[in-house]
C-alpha cells in the first residue's frame, strides 16, 4: 500500500508558519527564564529577563544554592514535596468525583437533573474570591486550617470538570450500558469497567487542567496554610522576596525546577488532552 504524500498548499504553509511563530512566542519567556537562572542576580537587575548568551557569567551556582538548601532556600524541596502530594491527591479526587457527577448528569434521566446542571453552570460563573470567606470559616469549623486537606477538599469537585465530563458523556453510546445490565453488571460496574475506559480522553484533558490549577494555586493555600513546613511551592517561592531580604538566585532557579512536573505531565497526556478537547459525537 503506497503511503499518501501530503501536498502543501499556500494556506497550509501559512497556517504552519503561524503556529511556529506562536510556539516561539510561547516558549520565549521560558527560554529567557532558563538563561536568567544561569546568571547572577545582578544581571537580572541590570538587564532584566533577556536572551543574551553571556557565557563567562553563566554557571550552575543558582541551582547549587537550591539543591544544597542554603539560607532561605533550605526548605525548598520540602515545599516541592508538599505541592506534589497536594496536586496528586487533588487531581485523583477531582477525577473520581467529577467524572461520576458528570457521567450521572449526562447518562441518566431523573427528576431535577436539569436543575442540578443549571446550578453547576451558575457556580461556574461565581468568582472564587466571593466564596473565600465562607470557605475559610468552614475550614475553621472542620479544623482543617494548616492542613493539606483544607487545601484539597473545598475545590476537589469543581463545576468545570463536571461540565466537561457531562458533555463528553453525552456523546457515549448508551448501548454499552444496556449490554452491561444484561450481563448482570451493576451501575458502578458499568461505570468503572465500561465507561471509564471510553472516557480516557476526557480524563487525560482534565488531569492536565486540574493538576496545573492545583500546582499553581497560590491564594487559597496562602489563606489556609500558616506554618512554613506546610507551605506549597508557590508560597515558598514568594517568600524568597520580601522587604527585608531577597534571594533572586534561588527564586529563578526554583521557578525553572517548578515547571518540570507540569511539563512532564503534559508530554505524557498530550495525546489524550488534544483528543479530549476535540472529540465529539458517538464513538464507534
Nearest CA-CA partner of 152 in 91, 195, 202, 99: 91
For residue 183, the model assigns a pLDDT of 85
> Which whole-number Å values give the CA distances from 230 to 60, 66, 116, 225, 281, in the listed order?
28, 18, 36, 6, 45
Question: Measured between alpha carbons, how far is 224 from 246 in angstroms, rounded to an integer?
Answer: 24
How many Cα atoms occupy the beta-carbon half-sphere of 24 within 13 Å? 6
**What is the reported pTM?**
0.86
CB neighbourhood size of 186 (10 A):
11
Residues paired with residue 241 on neighbouring β-strands, in sequence order? 246
Show the cell assigned to 159. Answer: 463545576
- Per-residue pLDDT of the chain (284 residues), as tens digits, is 455 666 778 888 888 899 889 988 888 888 888 988 888 888 878 877 778 888 888 888 889 888 887 766 678 899 999 999 999 999 999 999 999 999 999 898 888 889 999 999 999 898 888 999 999 999 999 999 999 999 999 999 999 999 999 999 988 888 888 888 888 888 888 899 889 988 988 898 899 999 999 999 999 999 999 998 899 999 999 888 876 667 888 888 899 999 999 888 888 877 776 666 655 444 43
In the numeric block, the cell 525546577 is attached to 257
Question: Measured between alpha carbons, how far is 263 from 247 in angstroms, rounded to an integer?
Answer: 25
Q: What is the largest CA-CA distance in the chain?
A: 73
Show the cell assigned to 9. Answer: 498548499
- Cα dihedral 62/66/67/70 (nearest 10): 110
Q: What is the DSSP string of 110-126?
A: -TTHHHHHHHHHHHHTS
CA torsion sign for 161, 163, 164, 165 is positive
The CATH number assigned to the domain with range 75-247+257-278 reads 1.10.3720.10
Question: Measured between alpha carbons, how far is 260 from 257 in angstroms, rounded to an integer?
Answer: 6
For residue 79, the model assigns a pLDDT of 93
Amino acid at each position: 500500500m503506497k503511503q499518501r504524500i501530503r501536498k502543501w498548499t499556500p494556506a497550509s504553509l501559512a497556517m504552519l508558519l503561524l503556529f511556529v511563530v506562536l510556539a516561539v512566542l510561547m516558549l520565549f519567556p521560558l527560554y529567557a527564564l532558563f538563561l536568567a537562572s544561569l546568571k547572577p542576580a545582578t544581571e537580572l537587575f541590570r538587564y532584566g529577563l533577556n536572551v543574551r548568551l553571556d557565557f563567562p557569567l553563566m554557571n550552575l551556582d543558582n541551582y547549587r544554592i537550591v539543591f544544597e538548601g542554603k539560607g532561605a532556600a533550605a526548605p525548598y524541596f520540602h515545599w516541592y514535596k508538599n505541592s506534589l502530594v497536594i496536586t496528586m491527591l487533588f487531581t485523583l479526587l477531582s477525577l473520581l468525583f467529577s467524572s461520576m457527577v458528570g457521567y450521572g448528569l449526562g447518562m441518566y434521566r431523573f427528576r431535577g437533573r436539569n436543575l442540578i446542571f443549571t446550578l453547576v453552570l451558575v457556580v461556574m460563573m461565581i468568582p472564587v474570591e466571593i466564596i473565600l470567606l465562607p470557605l475559610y470559616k468552614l475550614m475553621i469549623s472542620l479544623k482543617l486550617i494548616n492542613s493539606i486537606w483544607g487545601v484539597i477538599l473545598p475545590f476537589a469537585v469543581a463545576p468545570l470538570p463536571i461540565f466537561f465530563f457531562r458533555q463528553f458523556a453525552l456523546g457515549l453510546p448508551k448501548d454499552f450500558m444496556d449490554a452491561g445490565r444484561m450481563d448482570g453488571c451493576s451501575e458502578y460496574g458499568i461505570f468503572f469497567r465500561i465507561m471509564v475506559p471510553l472516557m480516557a480522553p476526557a480524563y487525560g484533558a482534565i488531569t492536565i487542567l486540574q493538576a496545573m490549577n492545583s500546582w499553581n494555586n497560590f491564594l487559597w493555600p496562602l489563606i489556609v496554610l500558616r506554618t512554613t513546613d506546610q507551605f506549597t511551592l508557590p508560597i515558598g517561592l514568594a517568600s524568597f522576596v520580601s522587604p527585608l531580604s531577597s534571594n533572586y538566585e534561588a527564586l529563578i532557579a526554583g521557578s525553572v525546577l517548578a515547571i518540570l512536573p507540569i511539563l512532564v505531565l503534559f508530554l505524557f497526556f498530550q495525546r489524550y488532552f488534544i483528543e479530549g478537547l476535540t472529540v465529539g459525537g458517538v464513538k464507534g
